[in-house]
Chain A
Amino acid sequence: MLSIVYFAWVREMIGRDGEALPRPAPETTIADVISALAARGDGYAAALGDQQRLRAALDQHFTPLDHAIGDAQELALFPPVTGG
């Protein structure tokens, strides 16, 4: 399984803070995973339809969306950070 966690308005629009997905092939990119989730429609489409607005972390490291999932355990999807 691949654990997915959502933050900020991504979490709010989807209506949950995370879920587990059947493990995708290692060469699957983060963008591929996002596209598959967005295809579920409703909140998923609203939150994940425009990938330009999204950032990601694989196993707690910021990772560009065109990178492959590899053997990562956790994928986090969120808007650009606004701390500090």
Chain B
Amino acid sequence: MKRVLVQTEDFDVAGELATLEALGGGGVASFTGVVRGGNGLAALELEQYPAMTRLQMERIVMDAGERWPLIGMTVIHRHGYLTPGARIVFVGTASRHRTAALESCAFLIDWLKVHAPFWKKEHFADGNTQWVASRSEDDARAHGWNG
């Protein structure tokens, strides 16, 4: 099962996990990314490249499917305005082997960070805004999977 969604709406983590569990592999791993609050952050705006986002996420999922014996993969990424505490991204993997589930889940979120065309802009309570800069350690982590 491959489930790739790009949406503005929230998603149901329990429901997504239940779907992966029902595949019967015996092992399910997941990662949920949530908007961090603090420093006066009022909202995080996620811009995307609509013509490319889904295509790129499907490429990443195919890549994971070639590297690990997976029976299910779910990747959901939200865009639009998200407030602190809101879920941004979900990655779930199901396999008969826990190592495959855990490693592919880490791979998918690392790759999403550097290969999915999204850009984050911080909106602060005082009216200031700032585009989030990319982090070299994210590049390094994603590059590590090439080895």
Same assembly: yes
A interface, CB within 8 angstroms of B = 5, 7-9, 57, 60, 62, 74, 76, 78-84
Number of interface residues of B (CB under 8 A): 28
- The reply to whether B121 and A8 contact each other, CB–CB distance below 8 Å, is yes
Residues of A within 8 A of B131 (CB): 8-9, 79, 82
The contact of A62 among B115, B118, B133, by CB within 8 Å, is B115
Question: Counting CB contacts under 8 A, is B56 at the interface?
Answer: yes
Q: Could you mark each residue 108-127 of chain B with 1 if its beta carbon is under 8 Å from any beta carbon of chain A, else 0? A: 01001111111111000000
Residues of A within 8 A of B119 (CB): 7-8, 78-79, 81-83
Residues of B within 8 A of A82 (CB): 113, 118-120, 131-134
Q: Which of B8-16, B45-53, B65-73, B97-105 contacts A (4 or more CB under 8 A)?
A: B45-53
Q: Contacts A7-B47, A8-B131, A9-B131: A83 and B118 contacting too (C-beta < 8 A)? A: yes
Residues of A within 8 A of B120 (CB): 82-83
Closest beta carbon of chain B to A79's beta carbon, Å: 7
- The reply to whether B115 and A78 contact each other, CB–CB distance below 8 Å, is no
Question: Counting CB contacts under 8 A, is B64 at the interface?
Answer: no
Residues of B within 8 A of A8 (CB): 47, 119, 121, 131
Q: Contacts A8-B131, A60-B56: A81 and B117 contacting too (C-beta < 8 A)? A: yes
16 sampled A-B residue pairs with Cβ under 8 A: A8-B47, A8-B121, A74-B51, A76-B49, A78-B49, A79-B134, A80-B134, A81-B116, A81-B118, A81-B119, A81-B134, A82-B134, A83-B48, A84-B88, A84-B113, A84-B118
Question: Counting CB contacts under 8 A, is B82 at the interface?
Answer: no
Question: Counting CB contacts under 8 A, is B87 at the interface?
Answer: no
Closest beta carbon of chain A to B7's beta carbon, Å: 14
